[in-house]
Amino acid sequence: VLSGCGVYDGTEIHEASAVLVHLSRGGAEVQMYAPDVPQMHVIDHSKGQPAEAESRNVLVESARIARGKITSLAKLTTADHDAVIFPGGFGAAKNLSTFAVDGKDCKVNREVERVLKDFHKAGKPIGLCCISPVLAAKVLSGAEVTVGHEEEEGGKWPYAGTAGAIKELGAKHCVKEVTISFPGNFPHVDTRNKVVTTPAFMCETALHHIFDGIGAMVKNVLKLTGK
């Protein structure tokens, strides 16, 4: 499930690509979805500032990553899929929810909430990375997730405050590393809820560490499908 195209106002493209590569390597068949709604705003990624008087559609922008092969999230059903994965990027906190603005008091897009609840009820695994675990924290009562560390540690974990918000949402936050350089300490697998999370770009680190961490998340999601 995508949330646009670009880290500051949509899906983090490297994360989406990593998820797709690891799913392909795992032999999975993939269908991409996104909500057919306007973006919260549009960011000029060269400046990191909002582009005034410009508007874009989440589904249309997500099609850039999907190479055009994308479907409205309203059509996603548990009957058609064994698992669902949400890459990160600020789009998860801006377009799939209002977390970027409202924090613990956020609302989740109606279709996103439906999908999360339906997959959870069906006992089918849910994978999330970077900031997107806040979606599960809000929607799935008592879920266990990770967004990495709970302290900034000199800028290595610049979004560490997110962990506190996750706790305020009623979820359990588990401190985890981003990479396989720390055996046994990533990703987090909530076996009771079948929710698998990994920090990805919540950490300032080398791209290959993020890629490998996402691979571990995908591997665990596929394992939980029992296929």
Q: Which residues are catalytic?
A: 130
Residue 182 has which token pair?
């720390």
In this structure, what are the phi and psi dihedrals at residue 49, rounded to the nearest 5 degrees? -125, 150
DSSP 15-79: HHHHHHHHHHHTT----EEE--SB-S--EETTTTEE-TT---BHHHHHHHHTTT-EEEGGG--GG
Relative to beta strand 84-86, strand 43-44 is unpaired
The Cα–Cα gap between 203 and 49 comes to 22
The Cα–Cα gap between 89 and 10 comes to 6
